[in-house]
Structure 1
Amino acid sequence: MTSRLTELIIDCHDPERLAAFWCEVLDFTVIDRNEGKVEIGSWKPTVEQVLAHQMPPTLLFIQVPEGKTVKNRLHLDVSPIDAGTDDEVTRLLGFGAVKTNVAQGPDRSWVVMADPEGNEFCVLRTLAVTDHS
């Protein structure tokens, strides 16, 4: 007996806005939309696919009345795949992210940011291949 991680739920005030932000960040698309909920992903899950393989989870944004009050206990890390880390940070700032500091000190190799509703996430080192010839 086993389970699969199928979705990560993110409480928010504006599911449409936050889903649009994360679609831009991750190159995801909206795969489902209901009253106060928007689900995004890199694939549209089917029961058969989930049973057959461990697939990447979707992100589900659910509207809640309360705002964020403390540092996230769970956060996303992203790694740019076709640009440098600094370029990716600049791109994300253009979508409404902000740089933030959660008291992790100056000697870190990642950039801590927050999405438009204040949820922290980290931009890690780039995965872009550089030509050294």
Structure 2
Amino acid sequence: MTSTFASLALDAVDVRRLADFWTRALDYRIAEEGDGIISLAPLDGYGPPIDILPVPEPKTVKNRLHLDLRANGCTGEEEVQRLLELGAVRADVGQDPDVTWTVLADPEGNEFCILGTSS
């Protein structure tokens, strides 16, 4: 027997704001809402579901687990720009300036990377 990946859980002070960001960032939809939790699912059915859970405290330290995303249908830098316009910010987690990915953070400060881009 093994475990099966069920969903990715993200904590948020502002659940609605984070759900709005990730639905637009990943082309997901709100699949379910209840008890303050918003569950997201991919529009095309491919990809893991995301559950956004309410917490009272803001994020304070670097994530130990993060998402790595790759641009689809545009260049990496175009994708970085799109995500910045949606509310992401550039993040410094100690990466070397010559890395081929860009580190961003969502509106709650959760870091994620856009692969194959230059900063």
One fold, TM greater than 0.5? yes
Specify which of 96, 100, 103 is matched with residue 109 of structure 1: 100
Tell me the CA shift for residue 3 of structure 1. 2.1
Change (3 A) 1:56 1:99: same
Question: Contact 1:31 / 1:44 at 8 angstroms: preserved in 2?
Answer: no
Between structure 1 and structure 2, the one with the greater Rg is 1
Paired residue for 1:32? 32
Q: Which residue of 2 aligns with 1:119?
A: 110
Q: Offset at 1:44? A: 9.7
Alignment correspondent of 1:91: 82
- Does 2:49 align with 1:58? yes
Output the CA distance in 1 between the equivalents of 2:44 and 2:8. 15
> 1:43 deviation in Å?
5.8
Q: CA deviation at 1:67?
A: 1.0
Structure 1 length normalisation: TM-score?
A: 0.82
Partner of 1:16: 16
SS for the counterpart of 1:77 is strand
Q: Distance in 2 between matches of 1:43 and 1:124?
A: 22
Does structure 1 retain, via aligned residues, the 8 Å contact 2:15–2:38? Answer: yes
Please report how far the alpha carbon of residue 107 of structure 1 lies from its aligned counterpart in structure 2 after TM superposition.
Answer: 1.2
The list of structure 1 runs, each at least 4 consecutive aligned residues, that deviate by more than 3 angstroms after superposition, is none
1:2 partnered with 2:18: no
| Structure 2 counterpart of 1:78, one-letter code | L
Q: Secondary structure at the match of 2:96?
A: coil
Equivalent residues, number: 117
State the percentage of identical aligned residues.
45
**Structure 2: runs of 5 or more not aligned:** none
Q: Deviations over 1:60-101 (max 9, x none)?
A: 000000110100000011101100011001100110000111
Specify every segment of 5 or more residues in structure 1 that has no aligned partner in the other structure, as ranges. 46-54, 127-133
CA RMSD of aligned residues (A): 1.8
Q: Per-residue displacement from partner, 1:101-129 (whole Å, max 9, x unpaired)?
A: 11111110000000001100001127xxx
- TM-score normalised over the length of structure 2: 0.91
